[in-house]
Structure 1
């Protein structure tokens, strides 16, 4: 049965594009709302608008509508809009608020800039009760409020707190039902020979047959690329995966981001025989395995790109050229990954394992230099030298942690003092209540002087919500002695410290001479400040 040339995606839902949604009327209304907001007092409470959308369909509310409605709500509440956290094409079930690109930055780094978070509906904000509970705890800790346009949510009232929990529970039930339906669909799909949903494996694309069903057909460019790679791997002197990737990119048969590891994963995928596959999660290597049907036989979903003999021959050729690299560990095979970089090409240095005759050894190599730039032997010696250099430069620096300070109490005290000063100044005016006797006048003047001194002693910064750096009594050397190289590596990666490794060939000597140079950011002291993660337990 023939297929139509028109391609079709597995779903009709489309990603949202901001530029295409704002109409002239919307923009005019936006400007009108901003002008009205400009008439609010300077000390008006500040609001952050949270906008989210997974996909744009006829049943969803567009981000433009959400923003305009929330700006009206902020204006009605007398709030000044300080910013808009717009996270589009983001699932609230999969991505909690603190992990979204824009809203997460406001929550983790810009909390002093707003007092309220406004959202259109609770399911636009969260869809899991645990995420909602985490956000409520965060709001109580930082003195923030959550307000919904279409739900009775207000953390400043007992009723609002109860309501937000009930609505959040309903949203989680709805999300759980959706998850169950999706999981059931995928489980059913795995047993079918027809292609129902999902992204096709490399080498195939979706099309419609004459009956309108979605089927998998072979992508011609991918077919050429895969067969060329098989021929290159089966030569007496086979080409490396890196060489194959460069040729395919240069021939424009693959995108510029193709890497050797991605190419190898494609070449080892049993889907190239036309079988249905699923991810094999055993071990640290990403592979796919064949799904067996109820008859214990592989389920064929498309015409094969390789015959079974061709595929088996390709796997044997790849196995002959493959090397037994260090086993993946939770911390990674390479320590200080992302810190140690090649001085010549600027890519990360990674640990590789090689075997010559009966002797195996490990060395560091980069990603782009030819043959790894001669390599850097003895990784642990390089680690030790890096630790020594870092301790000399940064070991004595104090460990500072970031803490959040609210200015509400200081603002109340400032307001009380200003009112008291105004009261006494009025009473000391001619004919005022404190000018009737010398005794009352002197007492009032003394009290007024004391109040003025108290007001002058209040630091203006203490009246603002702010982050402050507090010394925890330790140096970074003590911190790293307790946490080991893992703690040091995490801190160096966090603050952006790099160590350039330069390798110089020595005549008559196989191993190169190694030179190491630390690159420290100019604002290293500011970067060293540890920012505690309020949401760490929620991940």
Structure 2
């Protein structure tokens, strides 16, 4: 023990822990009851309570914390100044023999005794230490039993299709499971309608930004935030729960046939989910850096060399104050001979092309034509499982024969899906081009896509000296004929009945 005269009472620190704290009246192991038991013991022994340290909502068997719990760290700091660490029950301190033994040795270095009220153990004696280790072993076994029961409960819930708990997916609500035991999911009509509205915008060729505006206008709000963001809406639209799928350890649960199991009513069809996945697929970082910076980037060509005009600037200010942003022919820089390179004021030509587009084609309908080859959603799932199996085969102890057999079946299925008959469908979105243009306000990429889909020719000729403003004769515009192409590309979207990349 720490040095203390017989006239002075022993100094004690009380340690209290509760894994799941729901209030003082929650159970007989509530923090208040633990404190009272320890304080009564100290009073009977004539010990002075120096401090009461608590770890609430902290598991004793948590592998990430164990003896590094915040409260237990504080107890270790107090060891040089106390004589006794007292707790209501042994498993409040440690849930396994190893942790108990480690802490007991730490306390012994400071000549501090460990006292458990419930077991009436004085751990300064060999007999007390022996019994404490036996009790700690039982605590370890109990913790392992609880973990096993939890895992079995989760597996049972999955087998029966019950909701395992946690945050309920947007678009659903929990109800009593059809078996009469546990909870299940059913569609929440209002939220599901918002999800479908957002999906329809994207499936009709609209941007995710436009989908965000639509559901905000409908009054939709997410579960854990004040308003939707682009990222949170993307997560919902690409989430497996919309197809009735459940995940475990980050992986979609599959049946014996390798197909995802449908546990509750889906909000979207597999075909819709497949198209959403294609439309919202994130581009590689390098490709994102090459996105168009202006409305007409890549759409204007030089009349002399027929090369694409690039965004540049002119004026004494360079790209800073006083400069004028222009579309410029860089034929020589690109290694292309140009006898009469041209350039044009970016703001003026953009305003002219936009006005002409709305005047000439604004009343035309937005039409989307989708070409799909087989079940794209299943194909994506098969590709993902092939990648997972490739990693699994390299792991130590892997059953290479079984994994190789499964891999062969998946490769055969992938080949069959890739060679499946192509189907083409045409969908009228109900919007006109002018309505789509207005909806894309602030979204340069979306508006540029509308122009790219409908602009056949936009050649910029050399300007004439002395002409102020934009000479419209320099930029003759030819719009695409309003007819569907005979052979659209895979996943092509047609805006205003002309082809654009989805």
Q: TM-score, normalised by structure 2?
A: 0.48
- Higher Cα Rg: structure 1 or 2? 2
Report which structure shows greater RCO (CA 8 Å, sep ≥6). Answer: 1
Q: TM-score, normalised by structure 1?
A: 0.45
